[in-house]
Amino acid sequence: MVHMKHIDLILVEDSEVDGQLLKRIMRKEELTEDYVWMKDGSQVLEYFKDEKAPLPTAILLDIKLPKVNGLDVLKEIRSAERTKNIPIVMYSSSFRKDDIETAYKYGANSYLTKPTGFADMKHQFINFFNYWIKLNRSTVKFQG
Amino acid sequence: MHNKTVTTENPYSNTYDLDNCDKEPIHIIQTVQGFACLMAISSDGKAIVKQASTNVNAFLDVTHDQLLGKSIFDFISINAAERLKKGIKTGNFLEINPVILPAKNERLKQRLLSIHQTDGQLCIEIEHRIEHENELYFLSMVDHAIQQIQTSAVSQNLFQLAVQEIKKVTGYDRVMIYQFDQDYNGQVIAEMKEKHQEAFYGIRYPASDIPKQARDLFLKNRVRMLTDVDDHLSLIQPSLHPEKNTPLNVSKSASRGVSPIHLEYLRNMDTQATLTVAIIEDNKLWGLIACHHGQKKVLDYRTRSLIKFIGNIISGHLSLHRATEYRENILKNNIIHARLFEHMNQEQDIIRGLTEGRHSLLDYIYADGAVIIFDNQVVQIGNTPTESQINRLVDWLSKDPLTNLYSTDRLVEENPDFEDFAKDFSGILSVNLSGNISEFIIWFRQSQAQEVTWGGNPNEAKNRLKETGRLSPRKSFKKWKEVVVNQSLPWTEQNEDAALKLRSDIKDILLKRFGQLKKLHEDLSRSYHELESFSYTVSHDLRSPLRGIEGFAQILVEDYSEKLDDFGIEVINTIVRSVDRMNSFINDILKLSKLAKLEMIPEVIDMEKLLEDIAHNYRLVKDPDKKINIIIEDCPPIKGDRITIRQLFANLINNAVKYRRPIDDAYVTIGGKESDRKVSYYVKDNGIGFDMQYVGKIFEVFSRLVSEDDYEGTGIGLSIVKRVIDRHRGEISVESKPNVGTTFRIEFPK
């Protein structure tokens, strides 16, 4: 894995369509190019096993993922000393009460439900990015 | 005991009549019938005569005065004396009775002497030996009679058989069998008579006709003979035992005299002589075999012994019959019970099971009628009181919910308030089917006096009995009716057990059904839950690619708009619009599937508040195209699930807004009113309306009467409305006229 000096966002999303749309938004709206898109839960955990891997400013985490699902990923990340404070925002089509409650219980910082329309999706992601990443860029300590 | 002298003119020191014949001490009536003499002898082995009836001279060659104080051995043959001595010594009378006294002269032919002991006092009776009219065949007749009786099957009428045989053997004009009920009222259950006589079959008489002392005596002395009502009776002299100073206890004497009251009764029946044999069951007097003859009739000791023997056989066989009958009844009852149970189970309906099968409740427990009060129904079978009378009875029975079974054969006594119907239906047997609500099965029996008639034939003047006396069969019957007024045939233990068994079965069936329903509910609940999560999953899996279609279509427009002509852009717009529509459908499917959830939380909803809340959202709209006047009128509360009721009215109001006409005073009015059993609401608008020929489609899912271009929507609003109403067990109707308006009317049960 190539260690970039700095990662704004780790996007964990298994849907090809949703991922492409988000990529498009980040590019078209000129938000960032310093992101990593992972498509299954185990990849994320693998990434953090490497002590030298740089910590992202934020993680946008889907729930429905192959291999290890998002809630378990969340729990894992929160359990390690090194990664327990990384801002994690859930990003799921589920608005089920159990999912939302469990996510907060496991330590998610926020929970976003995927909207139906593209326009809404765009606005939602821009708001997310501005708050969780743009604002926090300077405050993230990274291990070099 | 009375210590008064007794004279021949008035054998009684006190007068006894109908009112106090109970108190007549008949076991010490100091008279003796003419067919035998009676004497008391000493127990010291010398057989000294201490007391004797004054007619001893008819049976011994000695006068009364000469006999007293002498030994009886002096006046009988040596052989007879030996035999008698032996009996006195051993105390075994059965072995020696009767002692034959050989003929002495023309006057004193062969006689029979019998000895018995009562209260430690030895008594001797001497009577003439009488040749039976069918002497030669007598024994074989008896033998035949006994055989007939013993081989009779339970189904045969043992009693009819018995009276037949006894009449043959004894030759009495009329032979009857009386049966006693538990109060010792009697009934003639079998009769064999001469053709010209009036029938007494079926007659009932009150217990007082045979006083208790008489009944008790029968247990000691099973055969009682009265040879002649006009007989000259002899007194016992001295009336008190010279040493003991007590009157002679004559209970076991065959020749003891009869109370004048009884004589009067017999005379009123044109009866000159009688023979009565006890039928004993379980050491109690079950009934009597009563033989009546129009002329004087005497049977001697041997004949009486044989009749007694037949009586014992009958008693024994009766017990056997009854035991077999009881067993058979139980068996039959078990079969009926099994069939009832099977039918209830099959029908899964208690009432149908009990009323539509081959056997009815009245086969199961003998009764005149029955009623089933169950599941808010009252079903009557046979003869019963009226429904309102039954309701009063049920209210009373419900006061004690812990009692499983209640029975009485005299309801009027138990509760005089019910006299108006209880005088007809005196017997009730009731079981309750549930502890807390009034559910019963009640069997009814009518009063006995109603059911029983005996009249004989009043037109047969020739043979009509005298009605002049105080005592007569007709008077007895009338008196019996008075005694049993307001009483029914009593319920047996078997009846009560049967009722309890049925109750227990019904409870089992209900429990099973409850279990099944519970399971069904759980299955349904689970299915709905699965449906909901299925809908949920499907809708989510559909949204993701929709997002993709719409998103990339947008991206096409954004990135390639210069390269696209108008048509191209329109194409993409169409794609986007289609996606929107698809999303609407998905949303609506989700909404619809949520309604399938079984848990509705019923509460009393403040409709004014709810409707104001919905209206408020619409009043905020500034768009003149959507402006509409929402008028809320009287809103009685509705009992239902708040969330879905809200949805219902929101949908209706939404439709009114959506389908308004573009006029200034577009309005929708909502209101309701409350009645006895329901709450009705209306939603009335002056919108575009629709053609009533399409009214059937209006509530179908996704069905629309307008095009999607003119009005947005998927056509699910009214299906949701219908679903909510169905869940609340309500009704909805609609009226509409194109370009006038539409009115929806909804009814909710209370």
Option in A94, A116, A121 nearest B583 (CB):
A116
Which position has the token pair 């717009």?
B573
Q: Tens digits of per-residue pLDDT, B257-298? A: 888 778 887 888 889 999 999 998 888 899 999 999 999 999
**B328: Cα within 13 Å, side-chain hemisphere:** 9
**CATH code of residue B157:** 3.30.450.40
Listed residues B546, B576, B599: the one ending a domain: B599
Cβ–Cβ below 8 Å for B551 and A21: yes
Option in B536, B544, B583 nearest A17 (CB):
B544
Check whether residue B643 and residue B686 sit in a common domain.
Answer: yes
In Å, how far is A116's CA from the nearest CA of chain B? Answer: 6
Q: Tens digits of per-residue pLDDT, B625-649? A: 778 889 999 999 999 988 889 989 9
Check whether residue B241 and residue B121 sit in a common domain.
Answer: yes
Check whether residue B171 and residue B245 sit in a common domain.
Answer: no
Q: Which range of residues forms the domain containing residue A98?
A: 9-136
Enumerate the residues of chain B whose CB falls inside 8 A of the CB of residue A118: 547, 550-551, 554-555
Q: How many domains does chain A have?
A: 1
Check whether residue B549 and residue B621 sit in a common domain.
Answer: no
At residue B5, the pLDDT reads 40
Q: What is the ipTM of this complex?
A: 0.83
Enumerate the residues of chain A whose CB falls inside 8 A of the CB of residue B551: 17, 21, 24, 118, 121
Check whether residue B64 and residue B200 sit in a common domain.
Answer: no
Nearest-10 crossing angle of helices B301-347, B158-170: 170
pTM: 0.55
Q: Quick check: helix, strand or coil at residue B408?
A: strand
Check whether residue B241 and residue B273 sit in a common domain.
Answer: no
Cβ–Cβ below 8 Å for B551 and A94: no
The residues on B that touch A, with CB distances below 8 Å, are 536, 540, 543-548, 550-552, 554-555, 558, 580, 583
Enumerate the residues of chain A whose CB falls inside 8 A of the CB of residue B540: 93-94
Q: Is the pLDDT of residue B401 over 80?
A: no
Does the residue A144 lie in any domain? no
DSSP state of A134: I
Q: Which range of residues forms the domain containing residue B480?
A: 333-509
Check whether residue B549 and residue B563 sit in a common domain.
Answer: yes
**CATH code of residue A54:** 3.40.50.2300
Option in A93, A94, A121 nearest B551 (CB):
A121
Listed residues B489, B509, B529: the one ending a domain: B509
| Lowest-confidence region among B166-175, B184-193, B215-224, B530-539 | B530-539
Q: Tens digits of per-residue pLDDT, B466-500? A: 555 555 666 777 777 667 778 888 898 889 988 99
Judge contact between B378 and B440, C-beta under 8 A: no
Check whether residue B212 and residue B351 sit in a common domain.
Answer: no
At residue B710, the pLDDT reads 79
Does the residue A84 lie in any domain? yes
Check whether residue B122 and residue B241 sit in a common domain.
Answer: yes
Cβ–Cβ below 8 Å for A118 and B583: no
Check whether residue B450 and residue B527 sit in a common domain.
Answer: no
**CATH code of residue B382:** 3.30.450.270
Side chain identity at residue B114, one-letter code: S
Check whether residue B159 and residue B61 sit in a common domain.
Answer: no
Does the residue A142 lie in any domain? no
Q: How many domains does chain B have?
A: 5
Does the residue A1 lie in any domain? no
Enumerate the residues of chain B whose CB falls inside 8 A of the CB of residue A28: 558
At residue B7, the pLDDT reads 38
Q: Is the pLDDT of residue B249 over 70?
A: yes
Enumerate the residues of chain B whose CB falls inside 8 A of the CB of residue A24: 551, 555
Check whether residue B501 and residue B357 sit in a common domain.
Answer: yes
Listed residues B281, B308, B325: the one ending a domain: B325
**Count of Cβ atoms closer than 10 Å to residue B721 Cβ:** 24
Q: Tens digits of per-residue pLDDT, A12-21? A: 999 888 999 9
State chain B's mean pLDDT as an integer: 84
Cβ–Cβ below 8 Å for A116 and B543: yes
- Residue with the bigger pLDDT between A88 and B29: it is A88
Reported residue count of chain A is 144
Here the tokens at position B488 are: 């029914």
Q: Is the pLDDT of residue B459 over 70?
A: no
Q: What percent of chain B has pLDDT over 70?
A: 90
Cβ–Cβ below 8 Å for A93 and B554: no
Cβ–Cβ below 8 Å for A24 and B555: yes
Does the residue A46 lie in any domain? yes
Number of helices followed by number of strands (H, E) in chain B: 20, 25
**pLDDT level of residue B427 (50, 70, 90 thresholds):** very high
